[in-house]
Amino acid sequence: MEKQATIKDIARTLKISTSTVSRALRDTHDVKQETRKAVMELAEQLNYQPNQLALHLLKKQTHTIGVIVPNLDFVISTMVKGIDEVALEAGYTVMVCQSNESYGREIVNTKRLMDSLVDGFIVSLSCDTMLVDHIKKIQDKNKPMVLFDRVTSALNAPKVILDNEEAGFLATQHLIEQGYKRIAILSGPKKLELSNNRMEGYLKALKQNNIKVDKDLIVYCDFNQDYAYFATKELLAMKRRPDAIFAIADKMAIGAMLAIKEKKLNMPNDIGLVGMNNDPSTRLVTPTISTVEMPAFELGKTAAKMFIEMMHSDKDMNDEQIVLRPKLIIRESSLKIVGSK
Amino acid sequence: MEKQATIKDIARTLKISTSTVSRALRDTHDVKQETRKAVMELAEQLNYQPNQLALHLLKKQTHTIGVIVPNLDFVISTMVKGIDEVALEAGYTVMVCQSNESYGREIVNTKRLMDSLVDGFIVSLSCDTMLVDHIKKIQDKNKPMVLFDRVTSALNAPKVILDNEEAGFLATQHLIEQGYKRIAILSGPKKLELSNNRMEGYLKALKQNNIKVDKDLIVYCDFNQDYAYFATKELLAMKRRPDAIFAIADKMAIGAMLAIKEKKLNMPNDIGLVGMNNDPSTRLVTPTISTVEMPAFELGKTAAKMFIEMMHSDKDMNDEQIVLRPKLIIRESSLKIVGSK
DNA sequence: AAAATTGCCGGTAACGATTCCGGTAACGCT
DNA sequence: AGCGTTACCGGAATCGTTACCGGCAATTTT
């Protein structure tokens, strides 16, 4: 309707200076009770709201956090919820930008947000990201930044991640305990450290159980259902096909499941399957799919807390790294020996 | 590393005024080629980026759209992607805030964004929202706003929605054609117009086929899986239980499915089921669930386009309403008569 | 009674950029 | 020579707010 009232309007009608109004509105010091009251009342009446834009310029901060995520699937949007919660509490607003797993898009988004719009970043890398110069630019401009979930050792920054090696180990060890011998892994893009780490866990479990690694059982695959479906079809067409599959993300496990069903193979008897992330759909499908839970909400909260701490302290936190623990969830797709844990 | 260079820095080192620098940087008019070149080169060298904060204050706009959504499930995040795409194209950045289906949270988010942070809003209401005063405040401040998906007639604003009555009609008509007689509806909260509209479609289909409405078959239910699960259990425990269920959202259809499976009833023979939204999980479960597709991405894009138009034009668009058409997707859960369309 | 303290307030600069207005110098024309 | 035009540039205001400094009057201290 009408224009937003400013501090000047109050000053003018009350015939006092803007500085006094400003002080009355917050200081409480150096202002007569009477004046203060008058100012407060008029402010109320005019529905005065301080102009944040002016404050941003003055204080050189916006109390806004830029959150860059590869997409907004169930797990990531849960993380974002965690970030949101902590940020709101601390008085920050969150800007979420999806890079759609695209390197170029990630760069554009970063640039957009960087130009004085946000105070800092909380970032999870896209699959597609190979160079991290655009992220380094953030650090060059001295803006605090925390990496979470999909991180890279190419960047010296505080990180919040899952113990991915442990996750890979848990899943594989479980399959071994269930008596599976030829365990394939549907891994993610090699660029993604997270997928390499999960694979290391896989390899570690094999080694601990004296199982020889078969390179043919290691498949690198895009982080999506369709790709995993086709990759699994190929795996199942092998002469000596695997008798279990560990997919490093539930999306891929779903793709694998579809391929397995198409081949009329029975889970868990003919073939075992374990995914990762505890996506809700893994509980819904038949058979239900075993998975490794990642504490997504907690991870988001932790990342945001770290960011806030970084904002408020001056010490160098680039070496800090918080590692959360995964949890194995056993369901029908891999539970061959009933009664075993 | 070092401070961001400003226009003053350029002016000082070149010993010219800031106004000249400013003009050199964009006007191209009224500035000597030589000076202009020097400015450009120095700007490049110092990696000068205009301070957006200052511009925002001056121009009184931020080129930012506040998007308020109840949550970020699959459908909504698809809509957000659509918004994002159009907004980015038009030079706008998007701030997404989840209200978590909470009225209070919605108010807080709106307030946060309103205080000069965003140029306008694209809003989908939370389930919980009954009063819309906080939204009216947006309009009072003359900020453009577009409602989408979950709208309310209590607000006079441009709207982009699905034809929900048609959706309800399509689903119900399909069940009738498949021979189901006692068709129950799992509807949403009464506050939500969208759920009422879907119900109207349901009623219309019954009427057109001369089926008497049985009030016991109409269940109002929260927009989530658990609630639907319990509601369905009650429905199935009735003396004359329904032989089909139309759930007005796939989340609820999943809940219904779980209850049906628990009772060892067979879909589609013992009971039919149709959901709505075409959530990916409806394709994954056994049996696959029929659903009504909503063009979520398109809907998001349309809302954003409308917003941009509203920003750029002065005419009153509050009466505009764009209605997108739903599409029935028939799957196993309701396909009794094979070969029928 | 003079000095110091306190309470209260206003003026001004600053944040970084744009824009309007006015001014100066050079040049051309009559 | 005088005037008008053009090309180029600088000053100042502006956006809304806060912070610093200084000033004045009233009150207290010495």
- pLDDT tens digit string along A89-106? 999 999 998 888 888 888
CB-based contact, A80 to chain B, within 8 Å? yes
A17 CB below 7 A from strand C atoms: yes
Mention every residue, 6+ apart, whose C-beta is less than 8 A from residue A341: A330
Residue from the list A56, A112, A254 with its beta carbon closest to the beta carbon of B284? A254
Residues A44 and A37: their CA atoms lie apart, in Å, by 11
**pLDDT higher than 60, residue A223:** yes
B225-236 and B250-262 helices, crossing angle to 10°? 40
Å between A67 CA and nearest CA of chain B = 10
Residue from the list B57, B112, B281 with its beta carbon closest to the beta carbon of A53? B57
Residues B37 and B28: their CA atoms lie apart, in Å, by 10
**pLDDT higher than 90, residue A140:** no
According to CATH, the superfamily of the domain at B164-293+328-334 is Response regulator (3.40.50.2300)
At residue A27, the pLDDT reads 78
Closest nucleotide to residue A9 (Cα to C1')?
D16
| Angle at CA of residue B299, ends B253 and B228, nearest 5° | 15
List all nucleotides in chain C with at least one atom under 7 A from a protein Cβ.
7-12, 14-20
Mean pLDDT, range A6-22, rounded to an integer: 95
A115 CB below 7 A from strand C atoms: no
Closest nucleotide to residue A54 (Cα to C1')?
D16
At residue B2, the pLDDT reads 62
User: Do residues A285 and B285 make contact, with C-beta atoms less than 8 angstroms apart?
Assistant: yes
**pLDDT higher than 60, residue A309:** yes
At residue B116, the pLDDT reads 67
Q: Is the dihedral of CA A131, A134, A139, A143 positive or negative?
A: negative
Q: Where do the H-state alpha helices sit in chain A?
A: 7-14, 18-26, 33-46, 52-59, 74-89, 103-114, 133-140, 164-177, 193-208, 225-236, 250-262, 281-284, 296-312
Which of A108-117, A226-235, B179-188, B260-269 is predicted with the least confidence, judged by mean pLDDT?
A108-117
Residues B322 and B299: their CA atoms lie apart, in Å, by 9
- Chain B residues whose CB is inside 8 A of the A228 CB are none
DSSP secondary structure letter of residue B290: B
According to CATH, the superfamily of the domain at B59-162+296-326 is Response regulator (3.40.50.2300)
A103-114 and A133-140 helices, crossing angle to 10°? 20
List the 6-35 stretch of A: residues with Cβ below 8 A of B: none
**pLDDT higher than 60, residue A341:** no
- Cα B34 to the center of its chain, rounded Å: 52
At residue B303, the pLDDT reads 98
Tell me, which fold does domain A62-162+296-324 have in CATH? Rossmann fold (3.40.50)
- Chain A residues whose CB is inside 8 A of the B72 CB are 72, 77, 80-81
B26 CB below 7 A from strand C atoms: yes
Instruction: Please state which CATH number belongs to domain A164-294+328-334.
Output: 3.40.50.2300
At residue A116, the pLDDT reads 65
| Nearest CA-CA partner of B243 in B235, B234, B255 | B235
Residues A335 and B173: their CA atoms lie apart, in Å, by 42
**pLDDT higher than 80, residue A332:** yes
At residue A339, the pLDDT reads 58
At residue B112, the pLDDT reads 82
Residues B257 and B63: their CA atoms lie apart, in Å, by 45
Which of A155-164, A259-268, B122-131 is predicted with the least confidence, judged by mean pLDDT?
B122-131
Torsion of CA A137, A142, A143, A148, to 10 degrees: 70
CB contact under 8 A, B96 and A93: no
Residue type, B211: I
At residue B103, the pLDDT reads 84
Residues A158 and A146: their CA atoms lie apart, in Å, by 5
| Angle at CA of residue A67, ends A64 and A70, nearest 5° | 165
User: Do residues A331 and A171 make contact, with C-beta atoms less than 8 angstroms apart?
Assistant: no
**pLDDT higher than 80, residue A337:** no
Our measurement of CA A70 to C1' C22, in angstroms, reads 54
CB contact under 8 A, B281 and A286: no
Residue ranges matching CATH 1.10.260.40 in chain A? 7-50
Cβ atoms within 10 Å of A255's Cβ, excluding its own = 25
B7 CB below 7 A from strand C atoms: yes
Instruction: Provide the residue-wise pLDDT of chain B in tens; the chain has 341 residues.
Output: 467 899 999 999 999 999 999 999 987 778 999 999 999 999 999 999 999 999 999 999 999 999 999 999 999 999 999 999 999 999 999 999 888 878 888 888 888 888 768 999 999 998 877 778 889 988 888 899 999 999 999 999 999 999 999 999 999 999 999 999 999 999 999 989 999 999 999 999 999 999 999 999 999 999 899 999 999 999 999 999 999 999 999 999 999 999 999 999 999 999 999 999 999 999 999 999 999 999 999 999 999 999 999 999 888 899 999 999 999 999 999 998 765 54
**pLDDT higher than 90, residue A308:** yes
Residues A54 and A61: their CA atoms lie apart, in Å, by 10
CB contact under 8 A, A115 and B52: yes
Å between B256 CA and nearest CA of chain A = 12
Residues B64 and B44: their CA atoms lie apart, in Å, by 27
Residue ranges matching CATH 3.40.50.2300 in chain B? 59-162+296-326, 164-293+328-334
User: Do residues A329 and A291 make contact, with C-beta atoms less than 8 angstroms apart?
Assistant: yes
Quote the tokens at residue B16: 């010219």
Residue ranges matching CATH 3.40.50.2300 in chain A? 62-162+296-324, 164-294+328-334
Mean pLDDT, range A96-119, rounded to an integer: 85
Rg (CA), chain B: 26
CATH architecture of the domain covering A7-50: Orthogonal Bundle (1.10)
Residues B80 and A95: their CA atoms lie apart, in Å, by 13
Which of A53-67, A120-134, A248-262, A303-317 is predicted with the least confidence, judged by mean pLDDT?
A120-134
Residue indicated by tokens 């929605």: B161
